[in-house]
């Protein structure tokens, strides 16, 4: 049986995504440094889990990057952000 971590208190569990207009860096970065990259002012992320049912799993969100929390537990890295720092979300129009 494995442990499952569930976000709570209004937090969203997300994976990092890319903003389409973001330019690729020409600087080579060692693999160890890439794991702890600096967050951009705005980040595109995908929802994995939520404390509430405010968004559907898989929804692309634009969030304030400086409020993303990176947590590593037993070698697995998780990204959390509070739902109040979601600026926009993707929806079919």
- Per-residue pLDDT for 10 more than 70? yes
Each residue of 38-88: pLDDT tens digit? 778 888 999 998 888 888 999 999 999 999 999 998 899 999 999 999 999
The pLDDT score that the predictor gives to residue 21 is 44
Just give the CATH number of 1-21+36-93.
2.30.33.40
**Among 78, 82, 90, 89, residue whose Cα is nearest residue 14:** 78
**Range with the lowest mean pLDDT among 19-28, 30-39, 46-55, 83-92?**
19-28
Calpha distance 53→3 (Å, rounded): 22
pTM: 0.74
Q: What pLDDT is recorded for position 19?
A: 58
Residue boundaries of the structural domains of the chain: 1-21+36-93
Q: Which bin fits 35, alpha (ψ -120 to 50), beta or left (φ > 0)?
A: alpha
CA end-to-end span of the chain = 42
């Amino acid at each position: 049986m494995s442990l499952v971590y569930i976000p709570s208190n209004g937090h969203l569990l997300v994976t990092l995504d890319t903003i389409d207009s973001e330019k690729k860096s020409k600087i080579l970065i060692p693999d160890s440094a890439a794991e702890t990259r600096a967050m951009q002012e705005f980040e595109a992320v995908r929802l994995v889990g939520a404390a509430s049912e405010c968004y559907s799993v898989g929804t692309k969100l634009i969030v304030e990057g400086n409020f993303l929390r990176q947590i590593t537990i037993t070698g697995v890295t998780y990204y959390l952000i509070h739902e109040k720092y979601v600026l926009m979300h993707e929806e079919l129009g």
